[in-house]
Amino acid sequence: MTDRDHNYMRRCFELALKGLGFTRTNPLVGCVIVHGDRIIGEGYHHEFGGPHAEVNAIRSVKEPELLPESTLYCNLEPCAHHGKTPPCSMLIRQKKIPRVVISLMDPFPSVNGEGVRQLREAGVVVETGCLEEEGAYLNRRFLTYLLKKRPYVVLKWAQTRDGFMDLEREPGDPVGTNWISGPVCRTLVHKWRAEESAIMVGTGTILTDNPRLNIRRWTGENPVRVTVDRRGRIPASAHILSGNQDTIIFTGMASKYSGKTRSIQIDPSYGIADFLEELHDQKLVSVMVEGGASMLSSFLEENLWDEARVLTGKMTFSQGVKAPGMPMDPYETEEISGTILEVYRNRMDILEILK
């Protein structure tokens, strides 16, 4: 692969990210079509059920007579089956595009090398593995959901400089959040929520903070709200039971909810792995876990997490609810409006998912 190939593939990555939060169980895919040294077409997969990136890129070409002399770049192997849309490998053959460069092979059973095989049998020069690790990381949610049979798990919490997530609460204390980070970081968190399929918190967080768990500071689709209420302790006045946002309540009680809120019955033996299996069955590709400390610690202890984002503010509490300890050094660190963001990755080599 040449530097030129790498540059065009990175443009595919940029385009693919535009679909983050909208493609549901589909992967993030961008496509660039190049004639000589000029990009003549671009496209990406906008939303679940919509045209694929290759289709949008080919449609954008204003000089279709150039396609038989062009190279198509795509960060994921073109599909080879009839699903919600016709196979992209067939369209590429029909347009007589002679060369295709791919970052990552698609492990989806209906594709899984078949797209490349069909193209090569038609005489198309296909090159694979262009920036493969970057391509795998881009689609880490899709790959985890498909191959690990669970959602991609992002842990997130804010802590004080001395390592506390909250003050100790006593019965009768006001319900609400003790803010640690500032408004800029709170907006960032809403952006993160818009990128994931679901957001999960424990019952304790519902009872003490009464969060809305939406993206009112951002644009996009609200994630599915998820909580565990084994003993039916959440009051009807809680925001999570408003019925105006898709919500799942894992409960051991016979319960009826209104609107978009539904329950999934569980037994006392249910643990983190069981909850993730249920969320996978609900076709939720990723979940952001925002608390509380006990739930976050359970995900860490069972090693059922993929990424963690820890926001450390300037204030101190001296005592209170201790934040979980991370078992490794952060992958990256940055300062955001006076708050330190540390990002951790549980699996440094995302290609291991493919093995």
DSSP annotation string for 311-336: EE-S---SSSEEPPPPSS--SEEEEE
Q: Is residue 170 very low, low, confident or very high in pLDDT (cuts 50, 70, 90)? A: low
pLDDT above 70 (res 353): no
> Domain ranges in the chain?
3-138, 150-354
| pLDDT (tens digit per residue) in 107-162 | 998 899 999 999 999 999 999 999 999 999 999 999 999 999 999 999 999 999 99
One-letter amino acid identity for 115? G
Same fold, 3-138 and 150-354: no
The CATH superfamily label for domain 150-354 reads: Dihydrofolate Reductase, subunit A (3.40.430.10)
Per-residue exposure over 249-266, b if at least 16 CB sit within 10 Å of its own CB, e if not: bbbbeeeebeeebebbeb
Tell me which residue of 81, 87, 84, 72 sits closest to 30, measured CA to CA: 72
Kindly write down the DSSP assignment for every residue of 226-279, as one continuous string. Answer: EEEETT--S-TTSGGGSSSS-EEEEESS-----TTEEEEE--TT--HHHHHHHH
Q: Is residue 352 very low, low, confident or very high in pLDDT (cuts 50, 70, 90)? A: low
Q: 346 in helix, strand or coil?
A: coil
> Which residue among 14, 42, 47, 54 is the active-site one?
54
pLDDT value of position 181? 84
Burial of 342 (0-12, 13-18, 19+ CB in 10 A): middle
For the whole prediction, is pTM greater than 0.85? yes
| pLDDT (tens digit per residue) in 24-66 | 999 999 999 999 999 999 999 999 989 999 999 999 999 999 9
As given in the structure block, the two tokens for residue 220 are 């996009």
CA angle, 301 then 246 then 148, to 5° = 40
pLDDT above 90 (res 326): yes
Contact between residue 48 and residue 25 where contact means Cβ atoms under 8 Å apart = yes
| pLDDT (tens digit per residue) in 78-87 | 998 766 667 9
Q: 205 in helix, strand or coil?
A: helix
pLDDT value of position 40? 98
pLDDT value of position 167? 83
Helix ranges restricted to H, the chain: 3-16, 53-60, 88-94, 114-121, 132-138, 140-143, 183-195, 203-209, 272-281, 293-301
Interval 240-264 mean pLDDT? 93
CATH class of 3-138: alpha beta
pLDDT value of position 166? 86
pLDDT value of position 349? 56
Q: How many CB atoms lie under 10 A from the CB of residue 311?
A: 20
Pairing assessment for the beta strands 307-312 and 198-202 based on DSSP bridges: unpaired
Task: Indicate the average pLDDT of the chain.
Answer: 93
Burial of 62 (0-12, 13-18, 19+ CB in 10 A): exposed
| pLDDT (tens digit per residue) in 177-234 | 667 888 999 999 999 999 999 999 999 999 989 999 999 999 999 999 999 999 999 9
Query: 127 an active-site residue?
Result: no
pLDDT above 80 (res 302): yes
